[in-house]
Amino acid sequence: MAGVLVLFSIALITIYFRESSGGGLHQVQSVGATVLRPFEVAADRVSRPFRDAYGYFAGLVHAKSENGRLRRDLDKWRQEATQNAYAASEKTDLLKKLHFVNSRSFPGGFGFVGADIISQPPTAFAQQVVIAAGSASGIRKFDPVVTGEGLVGTVVRVTHKQSLVALLIDDTTSVVALDVKTRAQGIVKAGSSFDHVGKDQRVEAGDKLVTAGWKLGGLSSIYPPGIPIGQVTAVGQNDVDLYKHVKLQPFADFKTLSSVLVLIPKNR
């Protein structure tokens, strides 16, 4: 039976291809296609929402996957950019320190110990930081602390591996300073004012201040002379007060400090 059907099918195919387009088999095919066309249209309309839904969800899955990949790439690039910016900042800070160490402003007879800041000021009123170096590195109480821009403060407490530094802007810090241009002397307090400057002394806005490094008999300043402190921003006086009113801006940026240099006498 199967063989007969096969032979019959071959015969029909042969007749279909040999007859003209107006032949009987072609007409039967045309009629069949016309009859089935409404069912094809209906089936297409029924299946189209499912095909669209499948395409939508497939596209949504692909979009979510692509979005996740892009987010991972963005996070990676952001981390790399942050690391590069940090490295550039550290390099700039290191170059400033090296420039200061090799400049004429660096005090003679002193070496230095570099240390990272590991604890920032606890409050706005107590401007003190903790550095990761102590007596094991040769640091002692009252050693001056500097950075590439100038004076930072002084060591006020020392342990074996850490030290507490009172910043120049701390209320307890005072430094005898000298106006580089006019040689006027006074005391820098809390890093914001240049006090005890007599009215007979000349101080102008824009003048630069450095440590005076005084000596009196067997006593001497804990700060060696010539360390940059800051720049005068305003000068005023009145008839009642004995001294001028001088404001200054420190050279060191205390908001961005991450590491410092502690000055240590070579003859210690």
DSSP string, 197-250: -BTTS---TT-EEEE---EETTEE-SSPTT-EEEEEEEEE--SS-SB-EEEEEE
Rounded CA gap, 174 and 236, in Å? 21
Rounded to whole angstroms, what are the CA distances from 243 to 195, 232, 248?
A: 7, 15, 15
Domain extent listing, the chain: 1-102, 111-265
DSSP 63: H
Q: Give the pLDDT band of residue 72 (cuts 50, 70, 90).
A: confident
Do 130 and 118 form a contact (C-beta atoms < 8 A)?
A: yes
Residue, of 237 and 42, whose pLDDT is higher: 237
pTM above 0.85, yes or no: no
Shortest CA distance to 182 belongs to which of 244, 241, 107?
A: 244
The CATH superfamily holding the domain 111-265 is Rod shape-determining protein MreC, domain 1 (2.40.10.340)
Site of tokens 């007749």: 15
Least confident of 35-39, 146-150, 152-156, 240-244: 35-39
Q: Is 79 left (phi over 0), alpha (psi -120 to 50) or beta?
A: alpha
Rounded CA gap, 54 and 58, in Å? 6
Q: Give the pLDDT band of residue 31 (cuts 50, 70, 90).
A: very low
Site of tokens 């089936």: 43
CA dihedral 34, 39, 42, 43 (to 10 degrees): -120
**Encoded tokens for 76:** 């990676």
Least confident of 72-81, 122-131, 149-158: 72-81
pLDDT of amino acid 70: 74
Do 140 and 158 form a contact (C-beta atoms < 8 A)?
A: yes
Residue 141 pLDDT more than 60?
yes
pLDDT of amino acid 10: 55
Packing angle between helix 2-18 and helix 24-101, nearest 10 degrees? Answer: 90
pLDDT tens per residue across span 76-102: 777 777 677 666 667 777 788 888 888
pLDDT of amino acid 102: 85
Q: Give the pLDDT band of residue 59 (cuts 50, 70, 90).
A: low
CA 193, 194, 198, 201 torsion-angle sign:
negative
Residue 33 pLDDT more than 70?
no
Per-residue pLDDT, averaged over 243-248, amounts to: 95
